[in-house]
Chains A and B, each alone.
Chain A
Amino acid sequence: MPVRRPPIPPTAITRRSTLELSSPLTHADSDYLNSELNEVLVDRFRTGIFDEGDLDLADEILSRDFTAHIPGFPAEWLKGPEGIKQMATAMRDAFPDVGFSYGVIFARGGKVVLQWTMTGTHRGEIFGVAPTGKFVSFTGTDIFLVSPTGPGGRIAEMWTSWDQWGLLQQLDALPPS
């Protein structure tokens, strides 16, 4: 049987909020192409909303017409700040000790490319799988688009491709490779 390659950190520096988190939340209109500010927004998304469960951040950093494109997720999780709150709540209910470690691959022109590894212990139902108590670790890639919508730059759109197959295998819901 093939050996699963363990998640490998991206070549970019893996960081958890080395950026100053007390910096202003929203950009000036002209700042939406500022890569450093955009990295702060993206850090708030992964660390603030998902790691720490600060759901109110969704209203601050996402545009009202925010859209996520993520295979395998219910449509209602993909629309607006409310959708992201549902998504984060569902993930945190399923994996209460959820942790994201990530590396910014690069940020340019309103876009931020991120590679992440999510870990957590399976304590609640997710994707129809009853809690198994298993510790899981799986990877994904995000591309965020920041736009000058609303009062300054906010995340307007995101695309994620992630290893849902690997997660379901680790939960014994699918046979091993």
Chain B
Amino acid sequence: MSYVKSEHNRALVNRFHLELFDQGDLTVADDTFSDDFVAHAPGAPVGWLDGVEGVKRAATALRAGCTDIRVLDREDTTTKGGKVAVRWVMTATHTGDLFGVPPTGRRFTITGINVFRMDPNGPGGKIAELWVQWDRVGLMQQLGAVPELVAAAIM
């Protein structure tokens, strides 16, 4: 029944953010995601983020595009049943190709909200589904990669 235990789920999500993205330990994905994991991320190609391999692919792509990654979960992480909602803040330095933008050396900060659903059948309750929303416009603005006309009009 650990899939509904808030502390278990909070710790799982924190491991995902901290160890996988900050520290680049890809084996964490094996421990924290179910095999049939599905992600919903606007703009991501269909299936690109799915499964344990998809999570590793995303972490690898992010870590190829930037260094000194810090993902902080806000303190108001909310859980109920097998679900977790997290507001996060990520800072990193843009040192490689990131979403098609060549390295700028810039330090950036972006925010997002992740909602996780835990697998009730897995051993110990792994992450089964994830909805990601994040501020891609804000990232591209900080990298100077938004077309001028749009950049002038949006905040």
Contacts and interface: CB of A to CB of B under 8 A. Distances in A.
B113 A75 contact: no
What's the interface size class on A, roughly?
Answer: 35 or more
Interface stretch (B53-61, B65-73, B81-89): B81-89
A162 B112 CA distance: 8
Interface stretch (A21-29, A47-55, A87-95, A133-141): A133-141
Interface stretch (B9-17, B90-98, B135-143): B135-143
Contacts of A128: 149-150, 152-154
Contacts of B42: 5, 138-139, 163, 165-166
B8 interface: no
A166 B43 contact: yes
B108 interface: no
A71 B111 contact: yes
B155 A105 contact: no
Contact of B111 (A2, A161, A164): A161
Contacts of A162: 133
B119 interface: no
Contacts of B147: 173-174
A67 interface: no
A146 interface: no
Contact of A106 (B40, B76, B83): B83
A143 interface: yes
B46 interface: yes
B153 A129 contact: yes
Contacts of A2: 44-46, 48
A84 interface: no
B23 interface: no
Interface residues of B, number: 38
Interface string A89-130: 000000000000000011111010101000000000001110
Contact of A161 (B46, B134, B150): B134
Nearest to B153: A128
B22 interface: no
A117 to B, nearest CB: 11
A13 interface: no
A177 interface: yes
B80 interface: yes
A2 B100 CA distance: 13
Interface string A1-37: 0111100101100000000000000000000000000
A168 interface: yes
Interface in A143-177: 143, 159-166, 168-169, 173-174, 177
Interface of B: 40-46, 48, 76, 78-81, 83, 85, 87, 111-113, 115, 117, 129, 131, 133-138, 140, 146-147, 149-150, 152-155
Shortest 6 CB-CB contacts between residues of A and residues of B = A128-B153, A2-B45, A161-B133, A163-B42, A165-B136, A106-B80
